[in-house]
Amino acid sequence: MLTGIHHVFPNKKGLVSVLADIHLHVEQGEFVSIIGPSGSGKSTLFHIIGGLVQPTSGEVWLDGEKVTGKKGLISYMPQQPALFPWRSIEENVALGQEVAGESRASAIDKAREWLPKVGLDGYERELPHVLSGGMQQRVSFLRALLSPQELMCLDEPFGSLDALTRLEMQAWLLDIWEQNKRSILFVTHSIEEALYLSDRIYVLSNKPACILEELKVPFARPRQEAVMQEQEFVALRQHIQGLLRREKTNNVSH
């Protein structure tokens, strides 16, 4: 999907290299995570995939078509829910479908069909401020899920939640994804989250970010929270921690 992506941007001191020769792909129905140090360019990658940023070099491909610089071809869920406060819950969910050209009535019908499936039955006509942070994230995820684009890009969607709510949302996300099997590219700072959710993981270096390692996650699906206690899970977590720790040490020494 991404081939040979390089990206630099100017600052007061000259040019800063952010991404260096990034190659990655997401198969249909696959859940892939990206993990790396803070400031390693993970969000910039999403902006390039979504056509918001033109890479210095390299190409973006979707479904066999070169789409570098084209907008509107992915559905995107940011770290914060980004709900419109004046729109009802069902109207917020329907927004992505409406923007893609679906009729308002049809989009609202789909929203009403899905809201009970994500634990939001009875909230259809409420405004976002009445929902908890976790419930707002469910609305944001459902909006992305019902958008027509095949690839969903989730940018640290649970990063602002407390630890218990985050675990609940991870289990909820897996359950909904098992029902739908959309292709997901997921950015996270949490090694445990990446291992728990993903089929594969790309580990990024410090800037300029390159791919340190691509790991296949070996645990069968559907997954339960107990997998985090398995010896192989702990070993993989320690392996990724070692990669990131070495990157942090190298960054300090330079």
Q: Look at residue 252 in the predicted model and tell me its pLDDT.
A: 56
Q: Is 109 among the domain residues?
A: no
Length of the chain (residues): 254
Q: Look at residue 96 in the predicted model and tell me its pLDDT.
A: 84
Q: Is 169 among the domain residues?
A: no
Cβ neighbours of residue 111 closer than 8 Å, sequence gap 6 or more? 89, 90, 91, 93, 94, 124, 142, 146
Over its length of 254 residues, how does the chain's per-residue pLDDT go in tens digits? 899 999 998 888 888 888 999 999 999 999 999 998 877 778 888 889 988 889 999 999 988 889 988 888 888 887 778 899 999 999 999 988 888 888 999 999 989 998 988 888 899 999 999 998 888 988 988 888 888 888 889 988 887 778 888 888 888 889 888 888 889 999 998 999 999 999 999 999 888 889 999 999 999 999 999 999 999 999 999 999 999 988 777 665 55
**Residue 118: which of 193, 196, 72, 171 has the closest Cα?**
171
Number of domains present in the structure of the chain: 1
Q: Is 149 among the domain residues?
A: no
Q: Look at residue 117 in the predicted model and tell me its pLDDT.
A: 82
CB atoms within 10 A of CB 91: 19
Q: Is 35 among the domain residues?
A: yes
Average pLDDT for the chain: 88
Q: Give the dihedral of Cα atoms 144, 215, 170, 40; nearest 10 deg.
A: -70
Q: Look at residue 92 in the predicted model and tell me its pLDDT.
A: 93
Q: Is 207 among the domain residues?
A: yes
Tokens of 105: 């009535």
Q: What's the domain range around 188?
A: 2-72+184-253
Q: Look at residue 93 in the predicted model and tell me its pLDDT.
A: 92
Q: Is 173 among the domain residues?
A: no
209-237 pLDDT, tens digit per residue, is: 899 999 999 999 999 999 999 999 999 99
Q: Look at residue 141 in the predicted model and tell me its pLDDT.
A: 84
Tokens of 215: 């790991």
Q: Look at residue 218 in the predicted model and tell me its pLDDT.
A: 96
* 27: amino acid identity, one letter: E
Q: Is 33 among the domain residues?
A: yes
Tell me the CA distances in angstroms from 97 to 77, 89, 101, 142, 149, one per residue in order: 14, 14, 7, 11, 10
Beta strands in 78-115 (DSSP E): none
Tell me the CA distances in angstroms from 11 to 8, 14, 15, 16, 210, one per residue in order: 10, 5, 6, 7, 21
Q: What is the CATH number of the domain that holds 246?
A: 3.40.50.300
Q: What pTM does this model have?
A: 0.86
Quick one: CA dihedral 89, 189, 36, 199, positive or negative? negative
Q: Is 48 among the domain residues?
A: yes
